[in-house]
Amino acid sequence: MKMRFNTEDAFEQRIERSIQENVSLASYNTFRFDYSAEYFAIAETLDALRELLVWAKQNQKMVTMIGGGSNLLISADVTGLVIINRLSGINARELPGNLISVTVAAGENWHQVVEYSVEQEWYGIENLALIPGTAGAAPVQNIGAYGVEIKDVLARVQVINRNTGDVYWVNGRDCGFTYRDSHFKGQWKDLLFITSVELSLKKQSELLLSYGGLSERIDGKPNLRSVFNTVCNVRNEKLPSPAVLANSGSFFKNPIVSQNQHTELKQHFPNLVSFPFNGGFKLAAGWLIDQAGWKGVHYQGVGVYEKQALVLVNYSETNAIALLDLEAQIKHSVFEKYGVLLEREPVQLPLASELVK
Ligand SMILES: Cc1cc2nc3c(=O)[nH]c(=O)nc-3n(C[C@H](O)[C@H](O)[C@H](O)COP(=O)(O)OP(=O)(O)OC[C@H]3O[C@@H](n4cnc5c(N)ncnc54)[C@H](O)[C@@H]3O)c2cc1C
């Protein structure tokens, strides 16, 4: 007798086992806001991810991918399917010359990737130590710290197209990287999901110490380990760990202004903290907020972190209402004082404009 192999049934059963309904996202975002996902699944393999996308397409459900939830502002229940990316694995390949190619699955913890690279004596991402979240989300806002952005070392990203299920590589230079931005936050949002990143690291010493006072803090001749340790120490001193105090890091981007606006601002505020950037100037948003009197302010169950005014923290709220209110007050007061509009850094979920694609 011939055995009947019904792949459709097997697919349905696997999907039924992996998707849950109405799941709280409180432990999947570092603000710890307690909104829920209509449908929820954790993807540990590319095949599982592919099947989840097929299910979402068949059932006309929107898909939202979350990594570590450290750059999210969830402000309502999320309709459709929320997928937590836990794809794992790291592979390294020596290239001729000074280069080493490191391929990292999207669900790997970014800081652990940095730590591993430092252990292997691979140079290039040590300044990006202790940034929370996953390797796959790192290109989404082109993470940056201490003069380095991921675009500087990103050879290419592997993506899956949510409509077709195709998996392919996109060169880093085609991802539209700018300051805290990329096509993954814009035209590719919720269409292309990152499944892997390929970093191009160096085997010989190349350290960047000119930002954030790194060189002054290192005793003796700097090396890979001492730079990594210093970055970790400085960050631990001024940023709250989300494990201790709920937050999403910098809540606002540093605003970019023209030369003329900068000159005018400098006349009124001689101590203005700013850096030349792309023909204009980048202003330190933390300084603007601090000088507008917000540092350390508590508002309902949220507040502005006492050591760094750029970071908004959640002490006790289960929803985002107070935080959105505080954000609006800060933006208004900074605009009134400096004529500068602050832009939010974390991604808000869900967006009013989100429709089933
Ligand atoms: C204490 C603290 C310090 C921080 N410091 C820095 C810093 O110095 N520099 C910096 O740049 N950022 C910083 N951040 C912000 C944050 O850590 C980074 O943006 C990080 O890359 C987010 O990763 P995540 O996995 O948590 O992403 P999530 O918060 O889960 O997702 C962020 C966005 O990316 C999308 N996304 C997630 N995974 C994928 C994927 N695989 N494919 C496509 N889209 C995806 C999500 O849908 C969402 O829109 C900090 C955050 C905190 C809490």
Round the average pLDDT of the chain to a whole number and report it: 94
pLDDT at 15: 86
> Distance, CA 334 to ligand 1 centroid (Å)?
25
Report, as residue numbers or ranges, the catalytic residues. 180, 250, 345
Structural domains of the chain in order of their starting residue, each with its CATH number: 7-85 (3.30.43.10), 90-237 (3.30.465.10), 241-349 (3.90.78.10)
pLDDT at 12: 85
Distance 91 CA to ligand 1 centre (A): 22
Distance 93 CA to ligand 1 centre (A): 26
Q: Which range, 69-83, 209-223, 339-353, is most confident? A: 69-83
Among 49, 82, 131, name the best residue to mutate to test ligand 1's pocket (greatest count of ligand atoms within 8 A of Cβ).
Answer: 131
Listed in sequence order, the residues at least 6 apart from 141 whose beta carbon sits closer than 8 Å to its beta carbon are: 71, 180, 181, 182, 185, 345, 347
Looking at residue 1, what is its pLDDT?
43
Rounded alpha-carbon distances, angstroms, from residue 95 to 98, 112, 153, 185: 7, 23, 14, 31
pLDDT tens track for 214-237: 988 988 899 999 999 999 999 999
pLDDT score of 60: 95
Work out which ligand 1 atom sits closest to the CA atom of 136. Answer: 41
Ligand 1 mean position, distance from CA 196 (Å) = 15
Report the nearest atom of ligand 1 relative to the CA of 159. 42
Task: Summarize pLDDT for 91-146 with one digit per residue, the tens.
Answer: 999 998 899 999 999 999 999 999 999 999 999 999 999 999 999 999 999 999 99
Of all protein residues, the one whose alpha carbon is nearest to atom 10 of ligand 1 is 143
**pLDDT digits 0-9 by tens, 65-78:** 999 999 999 999 99
| 160 close to ligand 1 (CB < 6 Angstrom) | no
Q: Is the CB of 107 under 6 A from ligand 1?
A: no
Q: How many residues does the chain have?
A: 357
Give the atom of ligand 1 at the shortest distance from the alpha carbon of 240.
Answer: 1
CB distance 85 to ligand 1 below 6 Å = yes
Tell me the per-residue pLDDT of 19-32, one tens digit each, with 9 for 90 and over.
999 999 999 999 99
Closest Cα partner for 31 from 305, 332, 295, 254?
305
The predicted pLDDT at position 357 comes to 36
Alpha carbon distance, N-terminus to C-terminus of the chain: 45
Of 64, 71, 128, 248, the residue with max ligand 1 atoms within 8 A of its CB, to mutate for a pocket test, comes to 71
Check pocket membership of 134 for ligand 1, CB cut-off 6 A: yes
Q: Answer whether 133 contacts ligand 1 (Cβ < 6 A).
A: yes
- State the pLDDT confidence band at 5, using cuts at 50, 70 and 90: low
Residue 212 has pLDDT above 90, yes or no: no
Percent of the residues in the chain that have a pLDDT greater than 90, as a whole number? 88
Q: Which atom of ligand 1 lies closest to the CA of 142?
A: 11
What DSSP assignment string belongs to 269-335?
Answer: -TT--EEEETTEEEE-HHHHHHHTT-TT-EETTEEE-SS-TTEEEESS-SSSHHHHHHHHHHHHHHH
Q: In the structure encoding, which two tokens stand for residue 280, read together?
A: 């204009």
Residue 354 has a pLDDT of: 52
Atom 50, ligand 1: residue with shortest CA distance? 249
Determine whether the shortest distance from the Cβ of 140 to ligand 1 is under 6 A.
yes
* CA 143 remoteness from chain centre: 6
Long-range contacts made by residues 107-115, C-beta under 8 angstroms, separation at least 24?
107/43, 107/44, 107/67, 107/134, 107/135, 107/136, 108/134, 108/135, 108/136, 109/68, 109/133, 109/134, 109/135, 110/68, 110/134, 110/135, 110/137, 110/138, 110/143, 114/228, 115/228
For ligand 1, whether the C-beta of 239 sits within 6 Å is yes
pLDDT category, 165, cuts 50, 70, 90?
A: very high
Contact 190, 163 (CB under 8 A): no
Contacts with 35 (C-beta within 8 Å, 6 or more apart), sequence order: 24, 25, 26, 74, 75, 76, 77, 78, 319, 320
Q: State the pLDDT at residue 3.
A: 47
Residue 205 has pLDDT above 90, yes or no: no
Quickly state the pLDDT bin for 353 (edges 50, 70, 90): low
**Tokens at residue 54, please?**
């097929």
pLDDT digits (tens, 9 = 90+) for 177-191: 999 999 999 999 989
